[in-house]
Structure 1
Amino acid sequence: MRRKILLLDTGREWGGGTNSMLELLKRIDRQKFDITCCFYNNYSRGNSETIESILNSIGIPVVFIAQRRQPKWAKITKELLRTLFIFNRSLKKQMIDQVDEKWRVLPNAQQISSILQTGQYDALYMNNQPSTNVEGYHAVQGMPVALIQHCRIEPQMNSALVEMVNERVDAVIAVSHGVNLTLRQSGVDAQRCFTVSNAIDIHQVLPHREEVRERFAYSPDTFIFGSIGSLITRKANHHIFQALGQFKRMHPEAKWKMVVVGSGPEHENLVQLARKENIETNVVFTGFQNNPLDYLAAFDAFILASRSEGLPRVVLEAMLVKTAVIGSNVVGTSELINHNETGLIFEYGDVNQLSVHLAALWQDASLRQRLINTAESRVRECYAIENYVAGVEMILEKSIERRSHV
């Protein structure tokens, strides 16, 4: 019997979690699972692709819950609370969350509950982390529906949220062992936490470095540093620019470019910072691109400086196309990069250490090759997409089976 699953995604933009979800939906066993997606926003990426058009192309139906604008009373109340509790951050967040729950979370929960009841779904499968999926926990109260949370980034948990998770969730799928540990240290019951590592298609046709560099007009004697991702504060591209400023001052003879692939609200700040660091002639902003593997293959070194991650697919992709990787020592990234074995690690925010790593990869071709060889082998051995899909399918099946006997 096919199990009916409603997949909930409350996101506003296309990110790594979206891509991981789509890779799962392309491969999940349709003989076992009948999936419908429920989104709040029909967000888009380059070439006018929307999440709706992509889901339609792979035969997954999607419904949208229209989001109303924040009412004036809620906005005014939240501003007052920010003023009243300016010195009590925890209480301020708690009070603001209560306002958001009243005007946004509970109305959404009612609509999700109605969809679950009308469609007679067996499970609600939520695609993000508990703090952004609270409405799902409310929606299933009193219903014989399995609840599965896919936690794709290091979660932010308070005691009330932990209590809600432990009371109702059947399984929390962590994308890395680090995310799993964070969940358990926050108080989530260990027996509810399962690790299914993010993964990629190791069998796909890969771009050829020389070919894509020629297409992008990257000269053979120019060292290409690169980053790929949304230009948001969490990705900490400003640390990369500061480190590159130091690198340029220490090695004025170096011939290099920094290629920034992505778009987002930090773009203008980064343009100004490049000017301040005197690297504006070295930096290339490409905007969003829908062929990230080509860019990764063209880079000599890929840099991920994020404040937090889950298990970044882009690092796996860089390793697969044999590009050296530098990453910040945060959950997820540090699980993929063994320092001086599969890449180089720096402490988040340590611009000096990052600058030293940039110079090391630029100067030492043998170091790059050693890191590349080890990293590619590890990705092929440990992070095949088939393992990821099978792991999620098993948890979905077992969660639904257990819930049906409650």
Structure 2
Amino acid sequence: MTQQRRKILLLDNGKEWGGGTNSMLELLKRIDRQRFDITCCFYYNYARGEGETIGQVLNGIGIPVIFLPQSAQPLWAKIAKELGRSLVFFSRPGRKKVAEIIDKQWRIQPNAKRVRELLQRERYEILYMNNQPGSNQEGYLAAEPLNVAVVQHCRIEPVMTPQITGMVNRIASKVIAVSHAVESVLLRNGVEKSLCTTVSNAIDIHQPLPDGKTIKQAMGIADDTFVFGSIGSLIPRKSSHHTLEALQRFSRQHPDAKWKLILVGEGPEHQKLQQQANGYGFADRVVFTGFRNNPLDYLAAFDVFILASKSEGLPRVVLESMLLKTVVIGSDVTGTGELIDSGHTGLLYPYGDTVTLAAHLQTVWQGSTLREAMTQRAWQQVVDRYAIEHYVAGVEAVLYAVKTTRTHHV
């Protein structure tokens, strides 16, 4: 007997290419098309740096995509926000609440109506959302009155409120967390345990791996130069300024050390970080590459990969570093802390503790034997536990099992 294909609408309202985009694409490339009929719905046709747009990539792998163009914030909403904020200027939560109420009126509710019409018109069984609950409120509101299963793929540590938790418990059919730590955050905030499951992020462990020497030679970096590096958007959450602070300490302690820092990525913090490096007097040692379509090539060129983030989900870039046998130093936050056994497969430090981060930089700079031991153990961990096939099978199992008749959780 032929299995019926489940008709799924994947909703992604993001504005830029990130790790969650890559994880989603890895799933879509491999998902069983005999069991799942997926159409993507995006708000923005964002691009991978100067490369392909998300629409072009999806078309290239045979996934239909619909774009729901977004309107600029209307003048009435801007005025209402300013008036509302002025009335509660003494209360930060009050100002935030005013903004949320107005955003719901001009943006969230109209988008919910459009998504609901799409779900009804095309008779989708499942609404699969690629973000976190607070960023997908229109999806929940769209599906609430319908017999449509709602699956939330929570790819980062979520920001939860009692209102959002209530919405999830009332409407969601399943919430997929990318790490056990993300699931713990959901549970601590009151999301029903029966709704939550963890399907760990993963990577293709069989992909061809680059030789980092090629990038180093192309950048004119000598073989005896120790390369620190980071990959990711230059945004406040990634906390690249902490990396620069730690390197200032390291350079003061080891003024004769030959080193470079390569920052792969682009974002609004670029100028501030450039000014910070200038202020520390080592701007000539910091390379800003901008967005790159070949981040693995750079990752292979690093002696150490640093992830200083304030929050994560289960960062694929850490898994990729481990596969490439590049040492990882990461802030001990959700997701990153789950991947690294500090001192065994990498090094962790308390978020924002640049003194400890600087000490870790010194440790790996001085200890080639330690680096080799940690990277070998990290590589084995990725191969054993984080192959992409496990991730795809886990998501497929959830999507095939969810029911369109809603069970209310209160």
What TM-score comes out, normalization by structure 1 length? Answer: 0.97
Q: CA deviation at 1:88?
A: 2.6
Correspondence for 2:125: 122
2:83 counterpart of 1:80: yes
Correspondence for 2:239: 236
Correspondence for 2:45: 42
Letter in 1 for 2:343: N
Deviations 1:274-304 (A, max 9, x none): 0011110110111111111111110000000
Q: Secondary structure at the match of 1:281?
A: helix
Correspondence for 1:197: 200
Match for residue 135 of structure 1 among 117, 134, 138 = 138
Q: CA deviation at 1:403?
A: 5.3
Correspondence for 2:259: 256
Correspondence for 2:172: 169
2:156 counterpart of 1:150: no
Describe the shift of the 1:100–1:401 C-alpha distance in structure 2 as closer, same or farther (beyond 3 A): closer
2:373 counterpart of 1:363: no
Letter in 2 for 1:37: C
Q: Secondary structure at the match of 2:293?
A: coil
2:9 counterpart of 1:17: no
Q: CA deviation at 1:163?
A: 0.6
- Consecutive unaligned residues of structure 2, counting only runs of 5 or more, are none
Match for residue 181 of structure 1 among 169, 179, 184 = 184
Deviations 1:158-179 (A, max 9, x none): 1111111100100000000000
Q: Is the 8 A contact 1:244 1:279 kept in 2?
A: no
Deviations 1:252-274 (A, max 9, x none): 01000000100111100010000
Q: CA deviation at 1:92?
A: 2.7
- Taking the TM superposition and a 5 Å limit, the aligned residue runs for 1:357-396 are 357-396=360-399
Q: CA deviation at 1:215?
A: 3.8
- Consecutive unaligned residues of structure 1, counting only runs of 5 or more, are none
Match for residue 297 of structure 1 among 293, 296, 300 = 300
Describe the shift of the 1:22–1:9 C-alpha distance in structure 2 as closer, same or farther (beyond 3 A): same
Q: CA deviation at 1:402?
A: 6.1
Describe the shift of the 1:402–1:73 C-alpha distance in structure 2 as closer, same or farther (beyond 3 A): closer
Correspondence for 2:211: 208
2:74 counterpart of 1:57: no
Deviations 1:208-248 (A, max 9, x none): 23344334432110000000000001000000011111111
| Aligned length in residues | 404
Alignment RMSD, CA only?
A: 1.2
Q: Is the 8 A contact 2:85 2:98 kept in 1?
A: no
Q: 1:209 & 1:374 partners in 2: Cα distance?
A: 20
Q: CA deviation at 1:47?
A: 3.6
Q: CA deviation at 1:141?
A: 1.8
Letter in 1 for 2:113: Q
Q: 1:2 & 1:22 partners in 2: Cα distance?
A: 20
Q: Secondary structure at the match of 2:309?
A: coil
| Identity over aligned pairs, percent | 57
Q: Is the 8 A contact 1:41 1:64 kept in 2?
A: yes
2:108 counterpart of 1:105: yes
Q: 2:218 & 2:372 partners in 1: Cα distance?
A: 23
Match for residue 348 of structure 1 among 340, 351, 355 = 351
Q: 1:401 & 1:199 partners in 2: Cα distance?
A: 28
Deviations 1:170-191 (A, max 9, x none): 0000000000000000010011
Q: Is the 8 A contact 2:147 2:405 kept in 1?
A: no
Q: 2:85 & 2:291 partners in 1: Cα distance?
A: 35
Q: CA deviation at 1:41?
A: 0.4
Correspondence for 2:69: 66
Q: Secondary structure at the match of 1:224?
A: strand
Q: 1:68 & 1:95 partners in 2: Cα distance?
A: 20
2:97 counterpart of 1:94: yes
Letter in 2 for 1:238: H
What TM-score comes out, normalization by structure 2 length? Answer: 0.96
Q: 1:211 & 1:277 partners in 2: Cα distance?
A: 29
Correspondence for 2:323: 320
Q: 2:32 & 2:77 partners in 1: Cα distance?
A: 43
Letter in 2 for 1:349: G
